[in-house]
Amino acid sequence: MRTPRVSRIFVPVVCALLTLVGCGGSHSADETKPLPEVKAEAAKMDVSALRDMAMSYKEAIVSKKGAIEAVQAKLKDIPLQEMLGEEAKNLKSEVDAISKSVKALTERFKVYFDKLKEMKGDLSGLEL
């Protein structure tokens, strides 16, 4: 009986992440892009492009934080006796993976945000 409850949480989260990843374009967040490359790109961008990239990263971060909350909610549903079981371990691993992704996205977001701040661009709506 646990599967329908998990599906109600997991499927929308996966759909949201796939939508975010599938957006593509030149202004999409990429957590795997090397930081030196991100810094080089940011140095060449104008204020508008910097803001677009920062917003793209912010949206990705917010989405992933929502995914973490959804997985943590599933963890809370697991009875105490099953916390050392396979399902709990998998959920904890999922939280760890998403947290690493958020950290990588945040590092890259900061590059664009700081460059935008340096150029005296509009920072409204970019707060994490």
Report the pLDDT value the prediction gives residue 1, as an integer from 0 to 100.
46
Please provide the DSSP assignment of 28-73 as one string.
---TTS-HHHHHHHHHH--HHHHHHHHHHHHHHHHHHHHHHHHHHH
Q: What percentage of the chain has pLDDT greater than the value 70? A: 80
Model confidence, pTM: 0.74
Q: Which residues contact 106 (CB under 8 A, 6 or more apart)?
A: 57, 61, 128
Higher-pLDDT residue of 1 and 116 is: 116
Report the pLDDT value the prediction gives residue 77, as an integer from 0 to 100.
87
Within 13 Å of residue 75, how many CA atoms lie on the same side as its CB? 17
Q: Any idea what the Cα angle at residue 108 is, between residues 125 and 12, rounded to 5°?
A: 65
Report the pLDDT value the prediction gives residue 19, as an integer from 0 to 100.
45
Report the pLDDT value the prediction gives residue 114, as an integer from 0 to 100.
97
Higher-pLDDT residue of 83 and 96 is: 96
How confident is residue 119, by pLDDT bands cut at 50, 70 and 90? very high
Each domain of the chain, given as residue ranges in start order, spans: 2-22+34-118
Q: Which helix (H) or strand (E) holds 89?
A: helix 86-118
Place of tokens 């599938």: 22
Please write the tens of the pLDDT for every residue from 31-71.
Answer: 999 999 999 999 999 999 999 999 999 999 999 999 999 99
Mean pLDDT of 99-108: 97
**Maximal C-alpha separation, the chain:** 55
| Mean model confidence pLDDT for the chain | 85
